[in-house]
Amino acid sequence: MAFSIPLIFGCQKTYYITKSTFFTPLPCKKNAKRSIFADAPPLKVMKPHIPEQLSSAQWQDWHWQLSHAYRSLDQLAAPLGWSPEQLQPHRAAAERYQPIVTPFYLSLAQSNSPDDPILRQCLPLPQELEDTTADLDPLSESDQSVLPRMVHRYRDRVLFFATGACALHCRHCMRKRFWDGPCLPAPTDSELTAAVQYLREHPEVREILISGGDPLTLGDDTLQRILTALATVPTIEMFRLGTRTLAALPQRFTPALCNILEHCGKTVWIASHFNHPDELSPEAAEAVLRLMKAGVPTVNQTVLLKGINDDADTLRRLFTGLLRMRVKPYYLYHGDPVRGTTCFRTGLQTGLDILADFRSHVSGMAVPTYSFDLPEGGGKIRLEPSFQCGTTPDGTPVFLKIDGHPVEYH
């Protein structure tokens, strides 16, 4: 239905607005950032507090990175150079939601300011405790679990929790409920047997999303045991491994791991999680190339985060940077209303405005699908900005061109 107010765009025709479809370009942030690309200005990387005798081989060892991860606010104080007074506002959040940060991920930070986009993703924030009413499991994963480790929401795919462990406790984590109590260990043989039996009884399932936690924090033998068991189901076509390790622990992608993924008997995709261009390290680029040589493609899922990446320029640099690193931007998620994370939510319109800003100067290959999950396990909703600005009196649709002027489409 058209409104009665006509809009005239410096021309002789009148168009009638049917919905609000005008987007204001968002301001760009011009901060210089570390980049893997040659045209970016070189910046000194902040190094964590590491013993001087540490060798390059140790730094590149993923076992060393995990065993030396910072697991308390006091451990983070030294590399950050923070005083007890600076730590104090963060203590309560750290006690409620434990930090875990690999030395490598901390080294990506450009400063020791809590507003640094790297630190803001891994340091406990007082705002996390302001939300006391949001649900711990708003997507009802527990209710839709067919087994203790398996969620079956969509007909053709299941979610399998391989572990509760992570290399990085992201402050916006949708499964912060996993942080309470003992960490979910790797599955037992009996749990894998039950999973295989369920999948054999449901031949409509063709894909397994293996997540957690982060399945790539598991050792090679354990991961291979899981993949080998699940691969015995003939109707399963592919595995998708959801992981933050490309950003937080790229050392994990050893030749041995890539060999396991290449020869596990099923097609394997990596679903990575980069949220900011500062995370696009040379080590991550090398890991992606190693995966490609093993026949394992990578897509990326980004969460839209207030104060971290909620502007068009930051996401443009992230998504085009991912493409240059041979990673396809797949999803841009609006944050879920999970308790302890709502301080990072932006509102749906922010994402739509950013995608609208991309229209004239970002390749479609670099633009992910903008999506959010309905509560109670209701599934994903995909959103796009609409550029239909109205209709002519005879009903012809009218769209906005990239220069903002209307054009009829017959």
- DSSP characters over 347-389: -HHHHHHHHHHHTTTS-GGG-PEEEEEETTTTEEEEE----EE
Residue 79 token pair? 């590399």
Q: Is 175 a catalytic residue?
A: yes
Sign of CA dihedral 279, 280, 286, 290: positive
Which residues have CB under 8 Å from 409's CB, separation 6+? 396, 397, 398, 399
Residue tagged active-site, from 16, 154, 198, 330: 154
Residue tagged active-site, from 33, 34, 175, 317: 175
| CA triple 213-239-141, angle to 5 deg | 45
Question: Is the distance from CB of 151 to CB of 117 less than 8 angstroms?
Answer: no
Q: Is 29 a catalytic residue?
A: no
Q: Is 258 a catalytic residue?
A: no
Residue 46 token pair? 């902040």
Question: Is the distance from CB of 288 to CB of 327 less than 8 angstroms?
Answer: yes
Residue tagged active-site, from 122, 166, 343, 389: 166
Residue tagged active-site, from 157, 244, 252, 339: 157
Residue tagged active-site, from 170, 264, 343, 389: 170
Q: Is 343 a catalytic residue?
A: no
Residue 251 token pair? 């050392």
| 155, 231, 377 from 193: Cα distances, Å | 21, 12, 26
What whole-number distance in Å separates Cα of residue 8 and Cα of residue 21? Answer: 16
Q: Is 30 a catalytic residue?
A: no
Residue 377 token pair? 């396990």
Residue tagged active-site, from 15, 97, 173, 176: 173
Helix, strand, coil tally for the chain in percent (to 5): 35, 15, 50
Question: Is the distance from CB of 104 to CB of 250 less than 8 angstroms?
Answer: yes
Residue tagged active-site, from 120, 149, 153, 316: 153
Q: Is 326 a catalytic residue?
A: no
Residue tagged active-site, from 258, 310, 373, 389: 373
- Greatest CA separation for the chain: 78
Q: Is 380 a catalytic residue?
A: yes
Residue tagged active-site, from 310, 336, 353, 357: 336
* Residues found in the chain: 410
Q: Is 173 a catalytic residue?
A: yes
Residue 58 token pair? 């140790």
Residues with active-site annotation: 153-154, 157, 166, 170, 173, 175, 336, 373, 380
